[in-house]
Structure 1
Amino acid sequence: MKLFLNMLLLLAVSNIFSQNKIEGVVTDANTNIELVYVTVYMPHLEKGTSTNENGEFTLNDLPTGTHTLLFSMMGFQTQSVNVTIPLNNPLTIQLKPSAIEMENIIISTPFHKLQRDNVMKVEHKNVAELKASGAVTLADGITNIAGVESVTTGIGIGKPVIRGLSSNRVLVYTQGVRLENQQFGSEHGLGVNDAGVESVEVIKGPASLLYGSDALGGVLYLNPERFANNNTDSGDFGTNYYSNTKGFSTNAGYKSSVNNFKFLFRGSLTEHSDYKTKAYRVTNTRYREQDFKAGLGFQNQAIKTAFRYNLNNSKLGIPEEIGEQSTNKTPLLPYQNITNHVFSYKSVLFFNNSKLDLNLGYVYNDRKEFEDHHHHETEEEHEQHEEGEEDEMLEAALRMKLKTFNYDVKYHLPKLGKFETIVGAQGMNQINSNYGEEELIPDATTNDFGVLATSHIHFENLDIQLGARFDNRNITVVSGINKSFNSFNGAFGIKKNIAENMTARVNFATGFRAPNLSELTSDGTHEGTNRYEIGNINLKSEQNFQTDIAFELKNEHLEIFVNGFYNRIHNYIFLSPDGNVIDNTPVFVYLQNDAILYGGEFGLHLHPHPLDWLHFESSFETVTGKQMDDTYLPLIPAKSISNIIRIEFEDNWIKKGYAFVKLKSTFKQDKVSTFETNTNGYSLLSAGLGGDFSVFNNELNVTLSGNNLTDKTYTNHLSRLKPDGIFNMGRSINLGFTYSL
């Protein structure tokens, strides 16, 4: 590994860079009129500007080589142009009018292309759009993406489910590094606040080629907010109020870029009381979250580098039964106190016709859980704690510290004819330590190492992407246990334009997941799940093969997509009761069997001419999961269909105005595992409106939304409160303001 890095760094030193710039003009393809305020962005360099009143733009201080230039503006089709620097002549760019929403560069795949140019299907959503639809948390917001759901424990604890797979089968990336926060636990949530997250991307299907173990089911990739454009600065603050929980979230941020240096920071505070159903409040679903994000960047023609830091602290109540009815926001016992530090360092070294990406990350997760029978307080001290006292007086029943260092090095070789090729190495060192009275999983060290190569081959009407990878995972437990897992994986995909405005994608990929520490060595009661879990040291790695087929039709006023998948998993790991009881708790053990999952998503987006301001969107999703003995897998989302009518408008007094009505219907789920209960179908009605206003010469964004407007009593199949007959959230009206300085 050291030799690999040294060779690449020597290449960087040997290159000489000159002053480069790009100039050009952007016009309307139909009228040839110059377009003002078109966003011009270079995603590889994270550098951008906008056109002036004459449609002109200039980007300075650019490295030699071939780079992607992105032009986007509301009401026009986003255009991606590859330019080779130095560039001798100014560019002339013509944008085609279109009612289709602006596209974005996909960051989670290594070649960083617009989705329409990607061989692999990736979903992309802006967080601002998810919040405007009424999402309370990020885990709640991603359920607006077809094929993505969330396993929830109240509103504060949620974890992503991609096509029926979750927990350690779905990898989460934030700030460009993998997030590790003991996600093996059913009651362990995402642990990321949406403040300072610009967009989310979802890879649905095995992504082990790109990310290694734990990406067997897919990847949730969180893109942080961008730095300010060169020699600009901006600030904003905002707040949201949620009527159901009497909750609020506030955040404020500032960013600036001067010459080659740039920085940003953002802080947020969120508090919610117990959520309310039509009949009662669900005791101890309250929580409090504090979040701080900061970034520092530097860029010249030879290097682009950025350091980011995220501190997140959450106090989350763990609901058990319906009890106290109040709007207090301080969690009762039992509750979790989780502190998460994420440090990331990202650099790109530019050579004449190639580049080197280096991502380093360090994640420090401190998880404490407090229970009724592990505190030593008087009644008076307990009352003080409930009124807001810190928990120094309490002794953590469970405390685990997880320290994870990970690295990701990719070298983009010079383009050779139709071939773009990337080679790389990834790895992780992880240390788990216990400090509480109880110990669910032992102290242990995990080391991952993987090497990969992938190529994108361009033809006139056909694109091919293929690659291969080798991984090794070693787990060493303090008791002397040492386990090693190896795996070869590959992927092959084709994207073809089969007709005008119609694209077909076919992808084949293998993935793997080594058993996690909990599955191998767990021995204790998991309070959040009411199970005594016993690990199985003889577990083998899960290995899967998935086929994805996707068709997409897109023109100026209509979009239709059809996605289908078939996923076969060998050695699928699952929990099963063995009939014994320890400490009045049923014992569950880890077993393995082959499994299959299949299903897909269908959607359409219609914006009829000449009513370009009117949008109708509909999507349907379905997934079925079975073991090979024909019994069903647990926690498989029910089928659902979502229909949205949306209008967009602008006037002198409002910009980017919108209003929508949404009806999401979830079907009955009776295809359940042996120890699950059925759930009935239901429909939820939502609506909202919003827009931007000019206040004191600055922009004020206002959003108003209502969820579950009919106050329906229902239970989502992925709610962990379902076995206790506890309903999901009732009617909620959400009001939000963001003021830009």
Structure 2
Amino acid sequence: MRIITTLMYLLFGPIVFAQNISIIGTVSSDNITLSNVSVSLIGTQTGTTTNGKGYYQISDLKPGTYKVEFTCVGYQTEKITVVFSNMLLVVDINLKTSNSKLNEVVVTGVSHATELRSNPVPIAVITKTEIEKNINNNIIDAITKGVTGVTAVTTGPNISKPFIRGLGYNRVLTLYDGIRQEGQQWGDEHGIEIDQYGISRAEVIKGPASLTYGSDALAGVINLIPYIPKGAEGKLNGDWINDYHTNNGMFGSSVGLWYRKNTWKYAFRATGKLARDYQNRVDGLVYNSAFREYIISGIIRTDKKWGYSQIAATVYNNQQEIPDGSRDSLSRKFTRQIAEGANDDIKSRPVVPDDVLHSYHISPLHQHIQHFRLYNKTELKIGDGFIDAALGAQQSVRQEYNHPTLPRQAGLYVTLNTLNYDLRYSPPVIAGLETSFGVNGIYQTNHSKAATDFPIPDYDLFDAGAFVFAKKSIGKTAISGGVRYDTRHISWNDFFVGPNNASGFEQQVNESATGAKLQFPFFDHHYHGISGSLGVTCNINDRLLLKANIARGYRAPNITEIGSNGLDPGAHIVYLGNRNFVPEFNLQEDLGFIAYLKDIDIILELFNNQLQNYIYQARLDDDNGNPVIIVPGNATYQYQQSRARLYGFEATINLHPHNLKWINLNNSVVYVTGINENQQLIAQSNGAAKYLPFIPPLHIRSQVVLKIPGSLDVFSKVSLQAEVDTYAAQNRFYALNNTETSTPGYTLINCGINATLTKKSGKTICELFIQADNLFNVAYQSNLSRLKYFEYYKSSPNGYSGIYNIGRNLSFKVIVPF
């Protein structure tokens, strides 16, 4: 092997001899070379990956002693110490196979880099490879496919809000590179403003994470980490991603560039996506479900002996149509709004022409969402301890255009400005005791601009919290926990609206204006809460682990829950809040068993979650049982608060016979029940209010993956997968006032193939992914789809009500590295 490696080195001689000192070699296992093995110098940001022939090369090194780490999924990590004194050092490594994933390092929700083995909190990790295989219209849907217990409330193919174990919206905190994502999370009609092609890894905490992040992490955390590759020194590297979906004709294209020189790294990515209306077997093409999205991001980072510092920026621009579900009552063809007010007769709206349904043109009735982010992360080493600091600024601009007679007049126009701050100190580990202390929070302002609808007031918000965390290992047992105190101050002034004689709609006015009415009275309030956690992990052996954790979470009410009083035109809902709401608190117990055995992986996680002051949406009826209609054509929802309980389990059984390395059988089962504990309301409603809204049904997923050993001519790493995705009927729903209705069960068949196209030298030409979702074009409605309730008629001539989910979709993705 050493002779072969040296010959390869001679072939690459002109490149290497131009450098100072280089290390080269080949990584193999049982005489089979391994590609995509990560080779890095510990304590630096220098590293690379092996090519298709298992060869690696790191150049431009200075003389000295280094520790080199070789890591690859499915193999034991190997660390060796080398001394560089000559121009060339050849190091060949033979990795031992390992099915244990317990040593995988994660960083979300803790202060030190923490292994799964020692962390009592349920954490799941989805890698870039898995994200790429889970082809979807957005990053959240990719995560729901890869992480059990994570679902999403959707409003069409490109709009997904993450839910963890039945809890979502402001209870799930989404992070981008550790910086909390701040848009308008309370709305249904827009997604997460993050580039799906620029994510290298997603880490998911399932359960209260208020200890580290404060309010809004009551259900858990999703941390999306941007992709910063380890490119060759002094050379511009990159990739070009092309993605096409047949169902909605989506074209996605993304170009990434990165450059590394000495201690500096630079990364840049530009992404564009374009899609027309999606389709299914019941509805045909769903009018007003097209979208157009552009994203730019950039990162500059330097790594020094004292630590590192990183500056990053993102720009997000999305034009997103939102269907309203209006149809011709007999043909069930979609119609479009062309008039307003008394002139708009829903039954007389014209049918949408076919050329409009097939067009990529964005309808005049749409929303325009922009998100701008600039942040810095810095880590300073202080002896064996370190200080982490983060400071970020974000602006979310949301415009919803819902006036066909005045297409340039925004119905909703809000600008949300957020300043994030985070400071943490982790002292040196003393006698196996790890500790951390920190403060973090946000300052936020929201302002309405030239709009006609005002669902929420202009407000100012300030969050601050401080925490202490500790972890101690005693033999095979690790104990960790901490406590945190949070406070939130939110306030707004009197907010008046009045007639706009020029447009015929309303506008924000002064108190003294003619016809002024008080939409949002003055409000000033402080919320505060104490949260904490205590957990223990017991390492039975290298492959078996028991975990137990109890945590108290805290969440202050969001702006719509306490302040809303008006129409959100994109959601077609009038929201009514309650100024007297108090913070939510929960107490969750988690128990987990993990076994990564020779031929099988078994993960079982059970949870019980008791919530105080749980806030939820409910449709509003009058005393006669008729829906309250404040704005014609729009439903009215009022927020409620009560005690609640959620409990359930997640079970994963993955078979990977060591004698049949070419086959994997992956299986998972997820069950969640949500109970409303407002006994008085349940009695008054004859049981209609017994269950909580937005609870996913029993979900069973089974997948077989076939990995073709070796290469097929120019194709390597060929794998095929087939999946049966089954959702049971959801008959446990919040039925009061028809807020929700029962949802029939359904089964989807998905399959795919992926491979790497390589040159004879082993260099990758491109990666290919082909995927078929809903292969048999099943007509179904997810109980978490908001489009299910977009219906104007009480009965339908074809027996179908509301809008159905996406039908059969074939996806093709190509990733070309350069």
- Same topology, TM > 0.5: yes
* 1:691 maps to 2:765: no
Say which SS state the counterpart of residue 144 (structure 2) adopts: helix
Structure 1 CA distance, aligned partners of 2:383 and 2:371? 39
| 1:7 alignment partner in structure 2 | none
The answer on whether the counterparts of 2:22 and 2:61 sit within 8 Å (CA) in structure 1 is yes
Matches of 1:36 and 1:357 in 2, distance apart? 34
| Aligned equivalent of 1:681 | 745
**CA pair 107-62 structure 1, distance change in 2 beyond 3 A:** farther
Contact 1:227 1:262 (8 Å CA) reproduced: no
Q: Please state if 1:483 is matched with 2:525.
A: yes
Q: Give the Å deviation of 1:498.
A: 2.6
C-alpha deviation, 1:456, in angstroms: 1.7
Query: Residues 377-424 of structure 1: CA distance to partner in whole angstroms, max 9, x if unpaired?
Result: 6xxxxxxxxxxxxxxxx0111100001001111111011011111111
Query: For 1:127 and 1:367, how far apart are their aligned partners in 2?
Result: 30
Which of 435, 438, 448 is the matching residue for 1:434?
448
Q: 1:242 to 1:36 in 2, by over 3 A?
A: closer
Matching residue of 1:158: 160
Contact kept? 1:47, 1:230, Cα under 8 Å: no
What root-mean-square deviation, in Å, do the aligned CA atoms of Structure 1 and Structure 2 show? 3.1
Contact 1:291–1:311 under 8 Å retained in 2: yes
**Is 1:183 equivalent to 2:260 in the alignment?**
no
Following superposition, the deviation at residue 114 of structure 1 comes to 3.3
Alpha-carbon shift at residue 499 of structure 1 (Å)? 4.6
Residue by residue over 1:432-462, the C-alpha shift from the partner in whole angstroms, topping out at 9 and shown as x without a partner, is 0110222111111100111111112122211
Instruction: Name stretches of at least 5 consecutive residues in structure 1 with no aligned partner.
Output: 1-20, 84-89, 378-393
Quote the offset at 1:25 in angstroms.
9.8
User: Is there any run of 5+ residues in structure 2 with no aligned partner, and where?
Assistant: 1-20, 82-89, 326-333, 336-351, 495-521, 623-627, 683-689, 792-801
Which residue is equivalent to 2:503? Answer: none
Question: Does the 8 A contact of 1:349 with 1:355 survive in 2?
Answer: yes
SS in 1 for 2:212: helix
Q: Tell me how far apart the structure 1 counterparts of residues 40 and 786 of structure 2 sit (CA, whole Å).
A: 43
| Cα distance in 2, alignment partners of residues 143 and 596 from structure 1 | 23
Q: 1:718 and 2:779 equivalent?
A: no
Aligned to 2:243: 240
Report the alpha carbon displacement of residue 653 of structure 1 after superposing the two structures with TM: 2.2
Cα displacement (A) at 1:567: 0.5
Partner of residue 656, structure 2:
607
Does the 8 Å contact 2:102/2:543 carry over to 1?
Answer: no
Q: Which is further off, 244-253 or 584-593?
A: 584-593
Quote the residue 1:399 is aligned against.
413
Kindly provide the CA deviation profile for residues 325-370 of structure 1, in whole angstroms up to 9, marking residues without a partner as x.
Answer: 4221223243110010111211111122111111111111000000
Give the match for residue 463 of structure 1: 478
Q: 1:423 matched to which residue of 2?
A: 437
| Farther off after superposition, 686-695 or 210-219 | 686-695
In the alignment, the residues of structure 2 paired with residue 299 and residue 252 of structure 1 have an alpha-carbon distance, to the nearest angstrom, of 25
Following superposition, the deviation at residue 74 of structure 1 comes to 4.8
Distance 1:54 1:682, change over 3 A: closer
CA distance in 1, matches of 2:62, 2:438: 28
- Equivalent-residue separation in structure 1 for 2:64 and 2:402 (angstroms): 57
Q: Does 1:206 align with 2:208?
A: yes
Aligned position for 2:574? 532
How has the CA–CA distance of structure 1 residues 529 and 551 changed in structure 2, closer, same or farther, with 3 Å as cutoff?
Answer: same
Q: Which residue of 1 aligns with 2:813?
A: 736
SS in 1 for 2:370: strand
Given the alignment, which residue of 698, 701, 714 partners 1:653? Answer: 714
SS in 2 for 1:582: coil
Q: Structure 1 residue 68: deviation in Å?
A: 11
Q: Work out the CA distance in 2 between the residues paired with 1:63 and 1:212.
A: 44
Give matches, 1:258-273, under 5 Å: 258-273=261-276
The equivalent residue for 1:125 is 126
1:334 aligns with 2:411: no
Contact kept, 8 Å, 1:251 with 1:269, in 2: the verdict is yes
Q: Residues of 2 paired with 1:22 and 1:426: CA distance?
A: 43
Distance 2:64 2:558 in 1: 43
Q: Partners in 2 of 1:508 and 1:92 — Cα distance? A: 46
Q: CA deviation at 1:529?
A: 3.6
Report the Cα distance in structure 1 between the residues aligned to 2:530 and 2:613, rounded to whole angstroms: 16
Task: Provide the C-alpha distance between the structure 1 equivalents of 2:62 and 2:141, rounded to a whole number of angstroms.
Answer: 41
Check if 1:642 corresponds to 2:701: yes
Distance (Å, rounded) in 1 between the aligned partners of 2:472 and 2:68: 20
Q: Distance in 1 between matches of 2:581 and 2:492?
A: 15
Quote the Cα distance in structure 2 between the aligned partners of 1:59 and 1:173. 35
Contact 2:311 2:375 in 1 (8 A): yes
**Percent identity between the two aligned chains:** 29
1:293-343 residue CA offsets vs partner (Å, 9 max, x unmatched): 111111211131111111110000011123434221223243110010111
Matched, 1:140 2:199: no
**Deviates further, 594-603 or 722-731:** 722-731
> Equivalent residue of 1:519, what SS?
helix
Task: Give the direction of change, closer, same or farther, for the CA distance of 1:150–1:55 in structure 2 (3 Å limit).
Answer: closer
Q: What CA deviation, in whole Å up to 9, does each residue of 1:140-160 have, x standing for no partner?
A: 212112101111111121110
Q: Is the 8 A contact 1:227 1:263 kept in 2?
A: no
Query: Aligned partner of 2:250: which letter?
Result: G
Q: Distance in 2 between matches of 1:242 and 1:505?
A: 41
Distance 1:315 1:79, change over 3 A: farther
The aligned counterpart of 2:339 is none
- Asked if 1:550 is matched to 2:592, the reply is yes
Q: CA deviation at 1:78?
A: 4.2
Equivalent residue letter for 1:648: K
- Tell whether 2:642 aligns with 1:583: no
Decide whether the 8 Å contact of 2:272 with 2:293 is kept in 1: yes
Contact kept in structure 1, 2:24 and 2:55, CA below 8 Å: no
Q: Which moved more, 1:101-110 or 1:319-328?
A: 101-110
Cα distance in 2, alignment partners of residues 441 and 365 from structure 1 = 15
SS of alignment partner, residue 105 of structure 2: coil
**Which residue does 1:293 correspond to in 2?**
297
Which residue is 1:388 aligned to? Answer: none
Q: Secondary structure, in 3 states, of the residue corresponding to 1:721?
A: helix
Counterpart Cα distance in 1 of 2:207 and 2:119? 15
SS at match of 1:372: coil
User: Is 1:425–1:451's contact at 8 Å kept on the other side of the alignment?
Assistant: yes
Distance 1:681 1:152 in 2: 17
Q: Is the 8 A contact 1:706 1:733 kept in 2?
A: yes
Task: In structure 2, give the amino acid aligned to 1:293.
Answer: S
Asked if 1:282 is matched to 2:296, the reply is: no
For the residues of structure 1 that align with 2:72 and 2:544, how far apart are their CA atoms? 23
Quote the Cα distance in structure 2 between the aligned partners of 1:338 and 1:411: 36
- In structure 1, distance between residues paired with 2:91 and 2:581: 58
The residue that corresponds to 1:520 in the other structure is 562
User: How far, CA to CA, are the matches of 2:91 and 2:433 in structure 1?
Assistant: 25
Checking the alignment, whether the CA contact within 8 Å between 1:175 and 1:344 is kept in structure 2 is no
Match for residue 322 of structure 2? 318
- Cα deviation 1:586-633 (Å, max 9, x = unaligned): 543222100000011101111113111100000010111111136111
Inter-CA distance 634–102: structure 2 relative to 1 (3 Å threshold): same
Task: Select the residue among 576, 581, 593 that pairs with 2:642.
Answer: 593
Matches within 5 A, 1:627-638: 627-628=676-677, 629=679, 631-638=690-697
Structure showing greater radius of gyration is: 2
The amino acid of 1:554's aligned partner reads Y
CA distance, structure 2, for counterparts of residue 313 and residue 539 of structure 1: 34
Separation in 2 of the partners of 1:660 and 1:62?
A: 47
